[in-house]
């Protein structure tokens, strides 16, 4: 990991950690804009998630804001420390949904959460930043590339094995054919010799 990457991730993560703490302490500025999301997401989550997971779901928009704030703190620390940084970046991107709703200038909302185009564009930029961080493999091949490369390698090995088996089978077939011809010539010589011997005895 380069020093520049570490510094950039730490600077990006610092916003989410501070913002997450603020959301957990005072969720009210985001409750109103998050209400439609909570009404849609929470019933759907209750129907699809296992019972053990449903027990941890928030009951209302206020709880959802606090949950996303907690996710931002955890995801920000993950991104800053590099421990599960790519997963942490994905969590941060998802956790931005309530804030994007709160700052969206097209909803008609105007509260202290930061309505207006500048705040909305900032939130969009931050979401894009963590999505880029989620794709950053630090110059190493990602899982998809490694999987594809492994599959191609196995395919080449299988093709080489098939070619080797085919050559060996062809060689064995040729050897058997030569052995068969030699055996046939030898048998013919023995038969000719036996015939001459019998003919000589009859004379």
pLDDT for the residue numbered 18? 92
| pLDDT-derived band at 144, boundaries 50, 70, 90 | low
Quick one: tokens of 138?
A: 């630090």
Q: Where are the domains of the chain?
A: 3-140, 143-203
Contact 123, 101 (CB under 8 A): no
| E strands in the chain | none
> Which SS3 state, helix, strand or coil, does residue 60 take?
coil
Confidence of residue 187 (pLDDT cuts 50, 70, 90): confident
With a cut of 80, say whether residue 70 has pLDDT above it.
yes
Q: What is the pLDDT of residue 113?
A: 44
pLDDT in tens, 73-94: 999 999 888 888 888 889 898 8
Mean predicted confidence (pLDDT) in 47-69: 82
pLDDT over threshold 50, residue 102: yes
Confidence grade of residue 196 (pLDDT, cut at 50, 70, 90)? low
- Across 43-61, average pLDDT: 80
Q: Does the pLDDT value for residue 143 go beyond 90?
A: no
How high is the pLDDT of residue 2?
A: 75
pLDDT at position 112 is: 47
Segment 177-190 shows an average pLDDT of 75
* pTM, full prediction: 0.58
Is pLDDT larger for residue 70 or for residue 169?
70
Q: Note the pLDDT of residue 202.
A: 64
148 or 96, which is more confident?
Answer: 96
């Amino acid at each position: 990991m380069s020093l520049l990457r570490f510094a950039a991730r730490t600077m990006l993560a610092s916003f989410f950690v501070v913002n997450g703490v603020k959301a957990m302490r005072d969720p009210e500025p985001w409750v109103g804009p998050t209400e439609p999301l909570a009404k849609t997401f929470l019933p759907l989550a209750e129907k699809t998630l296992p019972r053990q997971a449903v027990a941890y779901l928030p009951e209302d928009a206020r709880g959802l804001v606090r949950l996303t704030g907690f996710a931002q703190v955890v995801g920000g620390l993950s991104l800053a420390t590099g421990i599960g940084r790519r997963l942490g970046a994905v969590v941060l991107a998802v956790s931005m949904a309530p804030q994007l709703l709160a700052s969206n200038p097209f909803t008609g909302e105007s509260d202290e959460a930061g309505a207006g185009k500048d705040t909305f564009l900032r939130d969009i930029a931050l979401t894009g930043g963590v999505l880029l961080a989620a794709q950053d493999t630090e110059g190493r091949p990602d899982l998809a590339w490694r999987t594809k490369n492994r599959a191609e390698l196995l395919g080449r090995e299988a093709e080489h094995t098939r070619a080797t088996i085919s050559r060996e089978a062809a060689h064995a077939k040729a050897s058997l054919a030569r052995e068969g011809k030699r055996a046939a010539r030898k048998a013919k010589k023995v038969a000719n010799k036996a015939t001459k011997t019998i003919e000589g005895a009859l004379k």
